[in-house]
């Protein structure tokens, strides 16, 4: 018989007869689909956070600022965190290791003192949840000109999700050289859908477990 086990991430094919493998098995792996989540200014049901939605922007752009970074030592500093609301994404399955998360963030700073680079991360449910990945834009320092920064990271392990899990996105900066004057980092959100100032993140979808898609007998000779 020919048995096929498949889902969007993995397809396994085996040639079997009477419970014994007569031929071979092989697997093919495909890239999981992603969903684009937009950073919105509406308050989340989680205290202190804004909302992360699949819906397009629905308001004029707004700039969200960090604390004053003057005299702050090297390290990461949050600008704002965002999360999906209860029931979103409502996915059960696994985000496979090696899946790509891509951030598209409109960011700037208020002074040229010191140096810092954009930094972002995705977790499940909260800042202390299972991490998808964390990344910095190591090519371009943050400047006083509002600029769209696009950068990616990949998951280092399989991430199991249930329908009760939510997505948490952290946006901030990594200070590399201390600022000596008042300096605020900011991210712009909302604005034109898929255009100016619409900050967003593409997050891989969880895939269901493999399932048996076909089982059929074949003729044997000899």
Tokens of 149: 């920064």
Would you state the pLDDT for residue 213?
57
Over 90: is that where the pLDDT of 173 sits? yes
* Mean local confidence (pLDDT), 110-133: 98
Would you state the pLDDT for residue 140?
84
What topology does CATH give the domain 34-204? Answer: Jelly Rolls (2.60.120)
pLDDT in tens, 58-96: 999 999 999 999 999 999 999 999 999 999 999 999 999
As beta bridge partners, residue 165 has none
Percent of the chain with pLDDT over 70: 80
Over 70: is that where the pLDDT of 155 sits? yes
Question: What mean pLDDT is reported for the chain?
Answer: 86
Question: Where along the chain do the CATH 2.60.120.260 domains lie?
Answer: 34-204
Would you state the pLDDT for residue 208?
84
Among residues 163, 210, 192, 214, the alpha carbon closest in space to that of 6 is found at: 210
Sequential DSSP letters for 9-67: SEEEEEEEETTEEEEEEEEEE-PPPEEEEEEEEEEPSSTT-EEEESSPP-S--EEEE--
Over 60: is that where the pLDDT of 9 sits? no
Instruction: Report cis status (omega within 30 of 0) of the bond before 89.
Output: yes
Cα–Cα separations (whole angstroms), residue 212 to 18, 32, 158, 164, 202 = 18, 19, 21, 26, 30
Assign 3-state DSSP to the chain and report helix, strand, coil percentages, each to 5. 0, 55, 45
Rg (CA), the chain: 22
Contact between 73 and 178 under an 8 Å Cβ cutoff? The reply is yes
Would you state the pLDDT for residue 7?
38
d(CA 70, CA 115): 11
As beta bridge partners, residue 214 has 4
């Amino acid at each position: 018989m020919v048995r096929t086990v498949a889902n969007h991430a993995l397809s396994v094919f085996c040639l079997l007869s009477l419970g014994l493998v007569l031929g071979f098995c092989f697997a093919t792996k495909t890239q999981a689909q992603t969903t684009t989540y937009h950073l919105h200014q509406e308050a989340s049901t989680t205290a202190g956070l804004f909302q992360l939605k699949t819906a397009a922007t629905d308001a004029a752009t707004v700039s969200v600022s960090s604390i004053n970074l003057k005299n702050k030592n090297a390290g990461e500093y949050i600008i704002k965190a965002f999360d999906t609301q209860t029931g979103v994404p409502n996915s059960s399955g696994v985000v496979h290791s090696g899946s790509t998360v891509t951030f598209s963030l409109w960011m700037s700073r208020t002074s040229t003192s010191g140096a810092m680079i954009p930094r972002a991360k995705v977790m499940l449910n909260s800042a202390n949840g299972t991490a998808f990945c964390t990344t910095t834009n190591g090519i371009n320092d943050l400047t006083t000109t509002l600029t769209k920064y696009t950068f990616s990271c990949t998951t280092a392990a399989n991430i199991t999700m249930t329908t009760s899990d939510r997505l948490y996105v952290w946006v901030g900066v990594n200070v590399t050289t201390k600022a000596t004057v008042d300096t605020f980092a900011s991210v712009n959100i909302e604005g034109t859908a898929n255009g100016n100032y619409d900050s967003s993140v593409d997050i891989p979808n969880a895939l269901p477990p493999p399932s048996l898609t076909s089982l059929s007998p074949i003729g044997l000779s000899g």
